[in-house]
């Protein structure tokens, strides 16, 4: 079946530190990959996405590259801020073929709690 594995947390960093959150996946079809973020007291929000191999998703200074050869989609940010403190989820949804349509449902990793201190 489809699955997503994230690095174990929590992760605690000082402001302006470099962030990496590892994410690897297994998928039966052609996955689209996502990072979702959940800020304290708020709902899940899409942070970035990549729909095919070698695509790079980016938003708010965060980046992730879809690496088919290593089945990975690691999240990175060069300089974190206190406001980045949140829970980050890696997720995938699978298409049945390369040009096909999505089943829609998201399979999530366990989530990584990030705390950034001033």
Q: Is the dihedral of CA 48, 107, 78, 38 positive or negative?
A: positive
At 15, list the tokens.
């402001």
**β-strand 44-50 against 112-117: which pairing, if any?**
unpaired
Q: Does 32 bind other proteins (CB under 8 A)?
A: yes
Q: How far is the CB of 18 from other proteins (least distance, A)?
A: 26
Q: Does 28 bind other proteins (CB under 8 A)?
A: no
List, in sequence order, every residue forming a beta bridge with 31; answer none if it has no partner. Answer: 94
Query: Residue 43, Cα to own-chain centre: how many angstroms?
Result: 16
The upper half-sphere exposure of residue 38, i.e. CA atoms within 13 Å in the direction of its Cβ, equals 12
Among 8, 42, 70, 118, binds other proteins (CB under 8 A): 42
At 104, list the tokens.
């829609």
Q: Does 95 bind other proteins (CB under 8 A)?
A: yes
Q: Does 31 bind other proteins (CB under 8 A)?
A: no
Q: Does 99 bind other proteins (CB under 8 A)?
A: yes
Nearer to other proteins (CB atom), residue 75 or residue 107? 107
**Binding region for other proteins (CB under 8 A):** 32, 36, 42-46, 49, 51, 89, 91, 93, 95, 99-111
């Amino acid at each position: 079946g489809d699955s997503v594995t994230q690095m174990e947390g929590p992760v605690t960093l000082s402001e302006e530190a470099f962030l990496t959150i590892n994410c690897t996946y297994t998928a039966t079809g052609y996955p689209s990959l996502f990072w979702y973020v959940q800020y304290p007291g708020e709902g899940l929000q899409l942070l970035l996405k990549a729909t095919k191999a070698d695509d790079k998703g980016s938003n708010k200074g965060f980046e992730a590259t879809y690496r088919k050869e290593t089945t990975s989609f690691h999240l990175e940010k060069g300089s974190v801020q206190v406001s980045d403190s949140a829970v980050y989820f890696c997720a995938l949804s699978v298409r049945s073929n390369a040009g096909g349509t999505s089943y829609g449902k998201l399979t999530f990793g366990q989530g990584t709690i990030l705390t950034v201190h001033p």
